[in-house]
Structure 1
Amino acid sequence: MAVARRLVLGVTLCALTAFAHADGTPALSPATTAQQAGLVDIRQLAPDIAEDIKYAGSDNFVGKPVDGYLAPKCLLLKPAAEALARVERDLRAQHQRLKLFDCYRPARAVAHFVRWAGDLSDQRTKPEHYPKLDKSALLGDYIAPVSGHSRGATVDLTLMQCDAADTHCTPLAMGTDFDYFGTLANTDSPEASAAQHAHREVLKRAMEREGFRNYAMEWWHYTLNPEPTPDTIYDVPVQ
């Protein structure tokens, strides 16, 4: 079974590489380690930044650890990591902090998502992650065969408000949890309350000040602009 999974992964990644060269989408890097790819751990720059790396555990829409996540770490290309550390620093002056859900995402993890989305018999996470959608609708708008996260400059995160002593921080209400598939997750969704919109806007302004742009379908999703390697995706494990 393990051999079969490796063969499927190899075929999938080879297809991604061929697809990249055929239509101009990013090509798969030959890097086999984070160092070779130029990826750094955000905690080298912001040692105590809050992390809840969802795909390293089972609290995610797949319902189990995702391929390629061998440790709960946030890896990013250095320019993106430096910009994110500046966001965290600026927010702390206002007794606010970031909480990270995902950063660089190996291509093999994206292939895992695609396989999961194609298994319509697995509906375990529907109540939490796609209560208003049929699972068959997730491929395309929500789950694609190539993810910007694999280029190393995209991060999923939320905003926390801390007390005056910065000892207790609580995530602000954003209207949905991370990886909610539905229109309420759209950054400007009219379904969100005024307070939720205000919290999303505070996060958006903080990220934009350091060069990150938001993905309109997901309030939590930001990419450094310009990206350091817009024509390359990576598949080194997170470890």
Structure 2
Amino acid sequence: MINKFSDDWCKAKFRMLTVAMLISTGFGCCQVADVDNSGETAGATVTQNVKLSSDSSGFVLLSEAVPDAILEIRYYSTYNFVGDRIDGYEEPLAFLTKEAASALKNVSDELITKGYRLKIFDAYRPQKAVTHFMNWALDENDVRMKKYFYPELDKKVLFPQGYIAEHSGHSRGSTVDLTLFDMTTEKEVDMGGTFDYFGELSHPDYRNITEEQYKNRMLLREVMLKHGFKPLVEEWWHFTLADEPYPDTYFTFPINSNSL
């Protein structure tokens, strides 16, 4: 009798390796489902053309477009679910499309009047970073960061359950991972859970947290929605510009000072 999970995991491995080969050999288009590497499963059952591009002309440096934002680029550091600096993050910078950055500036301006600043964990993510995540997912023995980011899950379910995928909405350039920073306490706002935690705790509507923590999540959500971003049902920190300029293009240029 065939073990269904084992069969699915083998298929997932084959699929990841196939996409990785397409990326490494420079193919500009392939057929894949549109799934974010960290839980973005919207439209995951729809197969569509995916275009790869190295053209950075539509992007801006987030620290210039939103100067009040605080940057903590987790994938440039080793404090992330992999435990290493991620490929493509060559400097601790954040890029966004011009349209997303403009909308985020409006978010920042409103939140400053309420006593908060935005703290950015991730914005544009190069395709090679997503490939790094996929390769990491194949190594079932590398669980260095499990107790911090996925203590409730066996690593081998991360790909089948959609936590890791071939393409990320971040690579389209109009998605941002962020939280609130309280200017009175000079600390991050308590959201009842940490960035990049894989599990139900990260769902924005999760209610087994304090009322204050839930209100903090809703404040971030409400202001982001007001200024044109759409949320993700699995992650309280993740938002994508609803009218994103490159809905079917995934960018490949690295994050460094020479890319823009």
Please give the TM-score of this superposition, normalised by the length of structure 1.
0.88
Q: Tell me the alpha carbon deviations over residues 49-68 of structure 1, each in whole angstroms, 9 at most, x when there is no partner.
A: 10100001111111111000
Q: Give the structure 2 partner of residue 144 of structure 1.
A: 165
Q: Tell me the alpha carbon deviations over residues 81-107 of structure 1, each in whole angstroms, 9 at most, x when there is no partner.
A: 111111111110111111000000001
| Runs of 4+ with deviation above 4 angstroms | none
Match of 2:179 among 155, 158, 173: 158
The answer to whether structure 1 residue 11 and structure 2 residue 21 are counterparts is: yes
The answer to whether structure 1 residue 186 and structure 2 residue 203 are counterparts is: yes
Q: Residue 158 and residue 207 in structure 1: after superposition, are their counterparts in 2 closer, same or farther (change >3 A)? A: same
Q: Residue 138 and residue 16 in structure 1: after superposition, are their counterparts in 2 closer, same or farther (change >3 A)? A: farther
Please give the TM-score of this superposition, normalised by the length of structure 2.
0.81
Q: Give the structure 2 partner of residue 77 of structure 1.
A: 97
The answer to whether structure 1 residue 39 and structure 2 residue 39 are counterparts is: no
**Which of the pair is proportionally richer in helix?**
1
Question: Residues 169-184 of structure 1 correspond to what in structure 2 (within 5 A)?
Answer: 169-184=186-201
**1:98–1:160: 8 Å Cα contact kept in structure 2?**
yes
Name whichever of 96-105 and 137-146 sits farther off: 137-146
Match of 2:138 among 86, 106, 118: 118
C-alpha RMSD of matched pairs (Å): 2.1
Q: Residue 20 and residue 131 in structure 1: after superposition, are their counterparts in 2 closer, same or farther (change >3 A)? A: closer
Name whichever of 8-17 and 79-88 sits farther off: 8-17
Residue 16 of structure 1: how far off its partner (Å): 7.5
Match of 2:234 among 178, 196, 217: 217
Q: Tell me the alpha carbon deviations over residues 168-225 of structure 1, each in whole angstroms, 9 at most, x when there is no partner.
A: 6211111111100011001111323222111000000111111011101000000001
**1:20–1:27: 8 Å Cα contact kept in structure 2?**
no
Q: Which runs of 5+ in 2 are unaligned?
A: 1-17, 34-45
Q: Give the structure 1 partner of residue 5 of structure 2.
A: none
CA distance in 1, matches of 2:162, 2:192: 20
CA distance in 2, matches of 1:187, 1:105: 22
Residue 23 of structure 1: how far off its partner (Å): 3.5
Q: Which runs of 5+ in 1 are unaligned?
A: 1-7
